[in-house]
A = this chain, B = another copy of it.
């Protein structure tokens, strides 16, 4: 029943990597999505061993990106190469890319720099068998986090590169509002580019900081049945990763979060997969 469900370590933010891995395995889940800060705390080789020893796979590594700066291009590229190396060591097939916002008012320029720097990273990632998974973020984050705002735009950026090297992320929080969603998900699937399906809910009213306004599935307004059906019809058969940024979730005991997450997945997502 939970053969595709993955815990993203951000959802249980207070746990160390080892705590998260062991609890995920104990909850009967097969996969875990890792953030680099938790990996760094454990050390990347050790993190890989902890995951392996507990019989889990790594659904994705979060995150590379922040490639839109004006003066720090080499620093950013170096950091992305390190993230690719870490993903390879962790046997994470997908490196989630949160590509960065706008350093000035030139949004078109920032998007152009992103395309150029992505092209620089692709060969390095391909050699290590890591796919760069471009994540469109909700347009509320366009200024400060990601100039990729729609799945259609992510596909356009991915187009020059083979599907095995550049994919796209479908995260319900970021794409649920998109009037072109059905078409874009179908195209992403037809191209074999769906790197990851991440789920969490859009709360109404929002929290003051949209970054931590994500909710557990069922606590907000997203129709998980419809979006999951789009992803299924697009041929995606990979993991379904639960990634929630939310202070009250973070204040909850991790084992309880895992139980709620399994229950909501079974009720709201699984019937459509």
Which residues in A have some Cβ–Cβ distance to B below 8 Å?
A: 102, 105-108, 111, 138-140, 142-144, 148-150, 152-153, 156, 176-180, 202, 204-206, 208-210, 221-223, 226
**Is A139 within 8 A of B177, CB to CB?**
yes
Give the Cβ gap from A172 to chain B, nearest Cβ, in Å.
12
Q: How far apart sit A226 and B107, CA to CA, in the bound complex (Å)?
A: 10
**Is B223 within 8 A of A107, CB to CB?**
yes
How many copies of this chain? Answer: 2
**Is B208 within 8 A of A144, CB to CB?**
no
**Is B105 within 8 A of A221, CB to CB?**
yes
Query: Closest chain B residue to A174 by CB distance?
Result: B139
Query: Closest chain B residue to A109 by CB distance?
Result: B223
Query: Closest chain B residue to A157 by CB distance?
Result: B179
Give the Cβ gap from A178 to chain B, nearest Cβ, in Å.
7
Given the complex, which residues of B lie within 8 Å of A202, measured CB to CB?
A: 143
Q: How far apart sit A143 and B102, CA to CA, in the bound complex (Å)?
A: 26
Query: Closest chain B residue to A139 by CB distance?
Result: B177
- Which of A156, A177, A178 gathers the greatest number of chain B CB atoms within 10 Å? A177
Give the Cβ gap from A207 to chain B, nearest Cβ, in Å.
9
Given the complex, which residues of B lie within 8 Å of A150, measured CB to CB?
A: 179-180
Q: Looking at the complex, which one of B139, B142, B204, B208 makes contact with A208 (CB distance below 8 Å)?
A: B208
Query: Closest chain B residue to A102 by CB distance?
Result: B221
**Is A140 within 8 A of B143, CB to CB?**
no
Give the Cβ gap from A8 to chain B, nearest Cβ, in Å.
23
**Is B138 within 8 A of A223, CB to CB?**
no
- Which of A111, A139, A209, A222 gathers the greatest number of chain B CB atoms within 10 Å? A139
